[in-house]
Amino acid sequence: MKTAVLIFCDPKTVERFLKAVNKVVQTNLSASQPVDENYTELNRFLYFRVNRKMVKVLLNNILFIEGLKDYVKIFTTGKTIVTKHVLSSLEELLPSDEFLRIHRSYIVSIDKIDAYSTDTLEIAKKELPIGRVYKHKVTKILNASSINDDSDVSAKNKA
């Protein structure tokens, strides 16, 4: 039995290879599966190299991602994964309507946000900072999805 061995000298080459593999997997998955929105919504994933293995991570399970220079720490509902990846290249792989860059070191899953204020947001009882550069975009996106019941407050003030 012959085995193919790939040798990567440059970390950027590894990132580009993983990006290409993930893109092909996603394309093949969407082309080969029947058009069932529930199926594709629940089973979208990325592979990450962890301890010489490729580990599958479902996008629905990602809570947030923390950047640590050349590594990222991916916090999921079941486990935490550390892999050699740059946060900015990972941001490009993630769907922008589901994930939001809130800080130079953090990307969060929008639907996993439990609470937020002007400077921080909370996911799974962990408080994450909102960076000064990202504050306007974060506020705009989060306020678009919030319900401010000002009519109830004004009715109380009139009474």
Neighbour-count burial for 20-59, b at 16+ CB within 10 Å, e otherwise: eeeeeeeeeeeeeeeeeeeeeeeebbbebeeeeeeeebeb
Report d(CA 60, CA 45) in Å as an integer: 8
pLDDT digits (tens, 9 = 90+) for 76-106: 999 999 999 999 999 999 998 999 999 999 9
Q: Is 159 part of a structural domain of the chain?
A: no
**Residue type at 65?**
I
Supply 115's token pair.
Answer: 């609470």
Q: What is the pTM of this model?
A: 0.68
Q: How does pLDDT run along the chain (159 residues), one tens digit per residue?
A: 455 555 656 666 767 777 777 776 666 555 544 444 444 455 689 999 999 999 999 999 999 999 998 999 999 999 999 999 999 999 999 998 999 999 999 999 999 999 999 899 999 999 999 999 999 999 999 888 777 655 444 444 455
Q: Into how many domains does the chain fold?
A: 1
Report d(CA 58, CA 45) in Å as an integer: 4
Say which CATH number the domain at 59 has: 2.40.50.1020
Give the domain extent around 83: 11-147
